[in-house]
Copies of this chain bind each other. A is one copy, B any other.
């Protein structure tokens, strides 16, 4: 017989679309807003509507963006070295940007090739990437796709594109995480670390 009023139940149900939010935390979130932060709840509602309706993709690199081109694609200094880093998601792009080490441009796939899910080259904008590769000033493409089956398949496909357009292609190193303890690293990673060993 325990039940919420319709509007509270709708809010709890809607909160559960958020990743990592189960029924318990959805209820806690709903009550927290209703009890002490209705203003914040309204702001979140408005921010959601605005972002869902207005955030699109950069026409060049496909990252999330509400203008035609993102701030990286419009920054001439990021095109100087002619390097494009291919990532699977905007979150991966943010992680790389936060290192502050990479000064080139990106191409954000927003997914990986997955024939079973009906995700083909067109869905990842690989025709657009091919266009970039055939343009002037692209010297190297760095693959920073996930080390998963789908990430690997996508990396192989893009490497082929690079060969066809005679653009140098590389892939970020796989190995044991810096600061990681060997005994806790999985076998596949350890094998990769051995086969990828460098003179010391």
Contacts and interface: CB of A to CB of B under 8 A. Distances in A.
Interface stretch (A88-96, A126-134, A144-152, A156-164): A88-96
A80 interface: no
Interface string A44-74: 1111111111110000000011110011000
Contacts of A66: 5-8
A127 to B, nearest CB: 20
Interface string A3-25: 11111101101110111100001
A45 to B, nearest CB: 3
A194 interface: no
A189 interface: no
A43 B14 CA distance: 7
A91 B27 contact: yes
A137 interface: no
A1 interface: yes
A82 B45 CA distance: 41
A53 B1 CA distance: 26
The number of times this chain is found in the oligomer is 2
A31 to B, nearest CB: 5
Contacts of A18: 15, 29, 32-33, 44
A37 interface: yes
Contacts of A2: 94, 97-98, 100
B28 A19 contact: yes
A15 B27 contact: no
B42 A53 contact: yes
A91 B31 contact: yes
Interface of A: 1-8, 10-11, 13-15, 17-20, 25, 27-35, 37-38, 40-55, 64-67, 70-71, 89-91, 94, 97-98, 100, 110-111
